[in-house]
Amino acid sequence: MKTSIAIIGAGIAGITLAQALVPYANVTIFEKSRGLGGRMANRRREGFAFDHGAQYFTARSPAFRAVAEAAVEAGHAGIWPRAVHTLKSGGLLTDNRQPEPRYVGLPGMSGFANGLADGLEIRKQTTVAGLQQCGHGWALTDGEGQDLGRFDTVISTAPAPQTIRLMPETFSGHDALAIVRMSGCFTLMIGLDEPLHLDFHAARIEDDILSWIAVEDSKPGRRDKLALTIHSRNDWAEANLERDRDEVKSEMLASLKRLLGLDFSNAAWLDLHRWRYANVEEPASQPFLFDEALGLGACGDWCLGNRVEAAVESATALSTRMITRLQGA
Ligand SMILES: Cc1cc2nc3c(=O)[nH]c(=O)nc-3n(C[C@H](O)[C@H](O)[C@H](O)COP(=O)(O)OP(=O)(O)OC[C@H]3O[C@@H](n4cnc5c(N)ncnc54)[C@H](O)[C@@H]3O)c2cc1C
């Protein structure tokens, strides 16, 4: 009988790992959200569409480049943005260098993860809250203590601060997990009924509060209404994580007004998302964590860096290690 593996999280790391392991094991992914993709997220409201997590991804390794190009071919990804300019109080600094290809999921950012998840067994809206050792495996339970099944091996791809809370004290990866530092981010989503002309599709922002702005309908294949996605700086988010949401929104809008000379406070749609664990400030600096004796492991961007490709690289490295073990079994 094939060994059973539970993967916690259907972000890009969980999906990449699952696809690699499926030929060798019975794999089940548990995902707490309704959708796939984790921080490669998008949201649709009132005819407006926002990629409110990762903005684009690059693919530097030949293997991941091939995956990204196959996704473009299949219509799950497109090339965007061609240029990333810099917006600051003095105006816009344009960057017209030829960039490495940047990719975005289609029709929204999670489309890339959805395209890769084909054929996987994924239990959505199911939060893994407990792991109890039972025989040579692990019994998983949800937040209400409901039984989610028994598995020979359990891998967490949740952000490190969440993985550390899930893993039993006996897990050998705790020291590495404790090193990891992740930072938060606020994302402001603005939907507009009025036409608006901006001289950029995407720009990094040099400011005390804001760090990024994207014009959503400039992305390939988007037929949605005009919308802007704005990220705060991570350090500003960290200092303001518990503040009243309306105050955070107002400060971000005021900053945008200073930079663009435009007041969006009466926009047709305004929304704010708080990411408690958005970006990796200090990674574990090892490609994955795997406690072979216990049958427990972890992977994700936080192992190696701060990018979609770091999550893929971490999951791929762990899958290689696990497949070697499974083939030897
Ligand atoms: C605002 C923002 C901007 C970013 N910009 C970029 C960018 O421009 N380019 C780039 O390359 N990267 C960017 N990133 C980082 C990128 O999104 C991540 O590196 C990558 O998506 C991480 O993938 P992952 O699979 O490791 O983790 P995640 O995407 O976080 O996936 C983990 C999954 O686990 C699930 N989960 C957690 N706990 C449980 C549980 N107990 N039970 C069940 N499920 C659980 C979560 O719901 C989630 O789906 C950005 C991230 C954010 C938030």
Instruction: Tell how far the Cα of 166 is from the centroid of ligand 1, in angstroms.
Output: 17
What residue owns the CA closest to ligand 1's atom 21? 39
Residue 104, ligand 1, Cβ within 6 A:
no
Q: Which sign does the torsion angle of CA 89, 91, 97, 98 carry?
A: positive
Which of these CATH numbers, 3.50.50.60, 3.30.70.640, 2.40.37.10, 1.25.40.10, describes 3-328?
3.50.50.60
Q: Rounded distance, CA 80 to CA 290, Å?
A: 35
At 90, the pLDDT band (50, 70, 90 cuts) reads confident
Q: What is the pLDDT of residues 150-194, one digit of tens each?
A: 999 999 999 999 999 999 999 999 999 999 999 999 999 999 998
Q: Rounded distance, CA 41 to CA 25, Å?
A: 28
Query: What pLDDT was estimated at residue 140?
Result: 98
132, containing H or E segment: strand 130-134
Question: For residues 170, 176, 179 and 185, what is the CA-based torsion angle, rounded to 10 degrees?
Answer: -90
| Average pLDDT for the chain | 96
Query: What pLDDT was estimated at residue 329?
Result: 64
At 95, the pLDDT band (50, 70, 90 cuts) reads confident
The torsion region of residue 7 among left (phi > 0), alpha (psi -120 to 50) and beta comes to beta
Candidate from 16, 144, 308, 314 with most ligand 1 atoms within 8 A of CB, to mutate: 308
Are 311 and 160 spatial neighbours (Cβ–Cβ below 8 Å)? no
Q: Rounded distance, CA 306 to CA 318, Å?
A: 18
Burial of 34 (0-12, 13-18, 19+ CB in 10 A): exposed
> Minimum mean pLDDT among 52-61, 81-90, 137-146: which range?
81-90
Domains in the chain: boundaries: 3-328
* 273, amino acid identity: H
What residue owns the CA closest to ligand 1's atom 13? 54
Q: Rounded distance, CA 111 to CA 48, Å?
A: 16
Are 163 and 156 spatial neighbours (Cβ–Cβ below 8 Å)? yes
Q: Rounded distance, CA 277 to CA 250, Å?
A: 22
Q: Rounded distance, CA 238 to CA 60, Å?
A: 30
Are 5 and 29 spatial neighbours (Cβ–Cβ below 8 Å)? no
Distances 230 to 74, 104, 212, 213, 272 between C-alpha atoms, Å:
29, 16, 5, 4, 10
Ligand 1 atom, smallest distance to 55 CA = 8
Residue 212, ligand 1, Cβ within 6 A:
no
Q: Phi, psi (5° rounding) for residue 201?
A: -100, -30
